[in-house]
Structures are given as structure tokens and as C-alpha cells.
Amino acid sequence: MGEMMLLTPNWRDWYHFRHQQACFQSGAAFEDYVSQVLTHFHDDFLNPAPSGSLGDGGCDGLAESGTIFYACYGQRPARNAERELAKKIESDFMRGIDQWDTFHIWKFVTNAPMGPESLRCITKLQQAHGPTAERPLTIRAVNKERLWTDVVGALDVEVLDTLFPGAPGIENIELSDLLPLLDALGTAGSATETGGRIPPVPPTKMEFNALPEASRLEFNAGRLLAPRIDRWYAESSDPGLYDAQGGRFRSLYKEARSITAEPAEILERLYVSVAGANFRMDGKRANAAFAVVSYFFDSCHIFEMPTIEGSVFGGEVHDASAY
């Protein structure tokens, strides 16, 4: 089985940062980036190659059966940058409307800041091609923020990873078969299920292991998802999956306990092993982590179990790592 990757919860911030970096490029480099992005966004996007004296007809791409026309301009160092941008908008539009008769939407994509002259140029074109015009058009300027919101940020994670490989993630072969459970808990509806078996809250075990109040609240929130975890294991095609994953949790617990004796720190390491670094930045993922870890806590796979003879200060204690 190949390695599985669980993206960190701030993956969207990381991709947004990479998008911003791409938009800092000037000239043809930015224009190439836009063309690459639009190729993934539209399944029929084509950027015509310049042809002799005809050039490209002011077109940097057509999409949706030719109904959307893209013109693109990467900013270039210039003394009169604002005037150059306004002239570029007007010239690309005039060439496009003269040579292409299929489009209904005209979009000008640029990373150049739009000042008053370029804005006046856009609004003049919009008014000239309003609903009552001989050729009504939807005319839009797309800056780098709108390019992210409307296009890049709407792409699937797999596509984003193609554009920007190397997103931060957690590669943990030992936990790879826990990822589907985490995903199922994170994408399930918000309504709390009342069916299934919800293990009783074991206050003596939590007290015995000196879990802080914040951790107990997290566990109690996670326990509301216990019926979903029960059902997930019941529907699994692998009858030994629960025992196998319980064994993994025992190993993770022993490893964490060898590093620190603080219960809250041990729990945090278990959370990170399950859900990844910065998991608290994603509310659904955090709750899924609380649910999974509390589930194996209640099933006696992790932490120590108090006995009648045992106590916090002495006596026999059943070690979860011995099960």
C-alpha cells in the first residue's frame, strides 16, 4: 500500500501563500501561471498560439465553448505603469471584439494594481456593452485576490498539489488506515447521534491519570461521536481492524509516555499523531481527534487503569501498554 498523506489543517493558507508568490512574478511568467490555472479550472480552456501577422487576436484563452474570453497581463516595470495598463486593457479588448464573435464574457486578468485610468477604461467598456448595446457583454477585471477566490481556491486539493507540490502534511504509515475514519468523522453531519453504544464517562480513570479539566472536556465532546466510530468499525470489511488500530494506539501511547510524564502532553502527542500538526486550526478535525483518542481511552487501550487495590499513590496499576 502506498503512503497516504494527511494535509495539515492550514493547507489552504499554504496554497494561498504559494498563489501569492506566483502572482509576484512579472510579465510572461505570471501570464503562464494564469494559463496553467485556467487549464485546470475549465476542461476546454485553450490559449491560442500567435500566428504570424495575425498574432493571437488579443486572446490569452477561450473557455466554455468560446463563450468566455480571457485577456491576461503580467505587470512590467514601467515609468508610466498605470497608463500602460489602461492602454493594454483597451487594445486587448478592441482586438478581441474585432476578431472573436463567440464570447459573451470578457475577463482581463492582471497582477498589476489598477489605478483610476485603468478603472475608467474598464467602466467605459462596461457601459458601452451594457444590456441594451448591440453586442452586450459581461466585462470583468480579475486581480490576484479574485483569481484566488473565484478560480484557484475553488480547485480540488489534488489539482492544487499539481500546481504547488509539497504541501505540508503528516506521513505516518503506521496510522495510514486511520485516515478514512478521521475523514468520516470530519465530514459527517453536525447532528448528534443517539443510537449506538456511548461508553460511560470513566471519571476514576481520568482522575487516576490526572487528566486536566480541559482534556476531560475535549473527551466528553469527542464521546458524542462514539456511535459513528462503532458503526464505522462494524461496517469495515476487515474484522481485525479495531484490534490492529488499538495496538497502534498502545504503541503510540508508550512512545509518548517515554518522552513526557505530563498527561496533557501525552494526549497532545496522540492528537497530533492522529490528526496532524496544527489540528486545532480546523474545528471538525480537532473534534474528530478528540473522538478517536477518547474512544481508545475508554476501551482501555491507552493510559493506566485504576484497580480496587491501586491508587494514585500506590498499589497495583494495570498498565494499558501491557494489554
Tell whether 197 and 270 lie within a shared domain: yes
Number of domains in the chain: 2
The phi-psi region of residue 309 (left if phi > 0; otherwise alpha if psi is between -120 and 50; otherwise beta) is alpha
Please, is 42 exposed, middle or buried when counting C-beta atoms within 10 Å of its C-beta (0-12, 13-18, 19+)? Answer: middle
Give the model confidence (pLDDT) of 89-124 as tens digits.
Answer: 999 999 999 999 999 999 999 999 999 999 999 999
Tell whether 149 and 203 lie within a shared domain: no
Tell whether 79 and 206 lie within a shared domain: no
Tell whether 22 and 141 lie within a shared domain: yes
d(CA 138, CA 68): 9
- Which domain covers residue 278, as residue numbers? 172-322
Most distant CA pair in the chain: distance in Å?
94
Tell whether 182 and 92 lie within a shared domain: no
Q: Under 8 Å CB-to-CB from 78, ≥6 apart: which residues?
A: 84
H-run or E-run covering 128: helix 116-128
d(CA 167, CA 277): 13
The last residue of one of the domains, among 145, 163, 181, is 163
* Res 67: pLDDT: 97
pLDDT(314) > 80: no
Pairing of strands 105-110, 138-142: parallel
Give the model confidence (pLDDT) of 121-174 as tens digits.
Answer: 999 999 999 999 999 999 999 999 999 999 999 998 889 888 987 666 544 434
Please, is 119 exposed, middle or buried when counting C-beta atoms within 10 Å of its C-beta (0-12, 13-18, 19+)? Answer: middle
The number of angstroms, rounded, from the C-alpha of 243 to the middle of its chain's C-alpha atoms is 31
CATH number of the domain residue 15 falls in? 3.40.91
pLDDT(52) > 70: no
End-to-end CA, the chain: 28
pTM score: 0.56
Share of the chain above pLDDT 70, in %: 79
Which residue from 246, 261, 258 is spatially nearest to 209, judged by alpha carbons? 261
Residue 142 in 3-state DSSP? strand
Query: Is 124 among the domain residues?
Result: yes
d(CA 160, CA 18): 10
